[in-house]
Structure 1
């Protein structure tokens, strides 16, 4: 099996690297090392959809502009678990299909980061920062962060694919070294950059809570950040399977634990944002400038256009990488 399909510390349970789409779907009901990776995001996807639809049904969305950022956030919280489930489901169709699946996964994660930033800007900004320069530029910077993060994440994976094909020329040693550094930190970078915009503001929530902040919401923000840090640790550390290769191939490996932590973090984050929205509504409407419809749609559209452009560009670049040459045995 080629290196692109192999995970550190996982010895068994791999699907065939040339699986058909039908075989990939059927693998949801077979025990492989990807089965729980799929279900730990597919089931929460339906839970978040249920919460999203329930909130929509009790809101006059056309006239309640105060709730618009919430629905953007809840919508993006449905997108990333679905994208992750699809990526894990269809990643065994081919090498290029695997890379493209995860390009889309990175884009969805970063879109969720932007949705979180929009909700934080609307409901969770500390009192002392409301209408400040930081507040004014928070969402635009989150859009920039999203675009750059998606591009760098895809670029690092392309570097991994390029290095596997052995297509670097001798004169590109410095360039190769730089790209390999990015690739080696790909796992931590994807979530680290995606969570940068929200973690900065979450830190402010603890340091500068303000008079209108509520203890219940702050506690949920703290739980969210703690769970996010734990998720990032599992995502990059390859524990526990690195310590006992083969023992956690099907149940209990780091990516499954990462998925569980991410979903719990999102749930806690959603509870915190809902509390902020409800408990701070009167104060925020009196003191802050709510995000307008053009601002919200503009941010989402810019993110979608540039992120999809990145994904299309790097997906096309995959097919320009030469296949690794087979070295003939000397006779």
Structure 2
């Protein structure tokens, strides 16, 4: 660069007439330096643009070359969904294949992304509430914390199940049993938040000693029912009954304090939480309908299996249910403090937290026992 500046100065001295003032050499040096820097930056910009243009190709090379998806006749019976005829991923691929398949099109793509987005939204909601709620020192905030943790768990476990459940038959059972743990512990989290914050005095006097033990029992039965329903997945009727019946019973019990409270709702009631409680009930009823019945598949019988599925719609409604539930419980935590302090003893929240931990341990142990039975069943099928 210095040699270029000297050559430029000599050239200017040669071509400048004797009767004219020679331009200031330092200014010329500065101008030449600026021009050189600009040229270099423009060169780097073009190089950067070329690299950016190569990003799609690099991502394509990094992602696994997705083989043609399979039809239901190409995969084991335990992995089939009776309403989905195609779009199944290959089995027995490496783990990287399944992790990166979230960016590709198959019959689980929307199931993964609907709950992944919900997980991020709930996580943002947790961070926002943590600014206003002392979850460490205020024991009366622990039921709300259990609801938040259980909400994060069920969405995360659902993402894992839908993303990795096609690895093998045994992995399918393992990850979906993990998903059922998420569902069951979320049912318990919903129950403890409703019982602690949303319940009215009249109902509390009837169920104060039995509500949470019954809720824990129903969540355990829901988990067992889902596991056995998956175990009997070759029988679609047993599978659906195992999933729906105990979960319906658990939800009916868990939501009863909210329904009791909504039954006395009037126009004159000045309670901002009630509209969110009503919203969570309405969203859940829609979620249950899309989970139980193949509504979308029936409407679009000839449609794409990528888009035309009821399960992602169920995920969306369930996520809306959770968000309404969390906000309603927070409003009850802040607005009904005098009431729940008078109803619950000082050690109740700690007991419910311990019962939550014990329930999760029971789910894990029971799931491990049923998985041993699953492993034997799959071994017999391989021998046959």
TM interval, shorter chain, is 0.7 to 0.9
User: Given the superposition, is the C-alpha separation of residues 146 and 291 from structure 1 closer, same or farther in structure 2, using an over 3 Å criterion?
Assistant: farther
Q: Which shows bigger deviation, 109-118 or 17-26? A: 17-26
- After superposition, where does 1:104-253 map in structure 2 within 5 Å? 104-130=178-204, 132-160=205-233, 182-189=238-245, 191-208=247-264, 214-253=270-309
Kept in 1: contact 2:283–2:320 (CA 8 A):
yes
> Residues of 1 paired with 2:182 and 2:216: CA distance?
13
RMSD: 2.4
- After superposition, where does 1:42-121 map in structure 2 within 5 Å? 42-121=116-195
Superposed CA deviations along residues 166-188 of structure 1, whole A, max 9, x for unmatched, are xxxxxxxxxxxxxx753242342
User: Given the superposition, is the C-alpha separation of residues 306 and 268 from structure 1 closer, same or farther in structure 2, using an over 3 Å criterion?
Assistant: same
Superposed CA deviations along residues 77-108 of structure 1, whole A, max 9, x for unmatched, are 11100000000000100112112211111111
The secondary structure found in structure 2 opposite 1:13 is: strand
Displacement of 1:215: 3.5
Displacement of 1:291: 5.3
Displacement of 1:326: 8.6
Displacement of 1:303: 0.4
> Residues of 2 paired with 1:24 and 1:319: CA distance?
22
Displacement of 1:290: 5.1
Q: Which has the larger radius of gyration?
A: 2
TM-score (norm: length of structure 1): 0.85
Kept in 1: contact 2:187–2:250 (CA 8 A):
yes
Displacement of 1:45: 0.8
Q: Which 4+ runs in 1 deviate beyond 6 A?
A: none
Q: Which shows bigger deviation, 273-282 or 226-235? A: 273-282
Kept in 1: contact 2:102–2:163 (CA 8 A):
yes
TM-score (norm: length of structure 2): 0.74
Q: Is 1:273 aligned to 2:347, yes or no?
A: no
Displacement of 1:37: 0.4
> Residues of 2 paired with 1:287 and 1:200: CA distance?
17
Kept in 1: contact 2:154–2:182 (CA 8 A):
yes
Kept in 2: contact 1:8–1:242 (CA 8 A):
no
What's the counterpart of residue 174 of structure 1? Answer: none
What's the counterpart of residue 301 of structure 1? Answer: 357
Gapped regions of structure 2 (runs ≥ 5): 1-74
Gapped regions of structure 1 (runs ≥ 5): 164-179
Aligned pair count reads 308
> Residues of 2 paired with 1:17 and 1:196: CA distance?
38
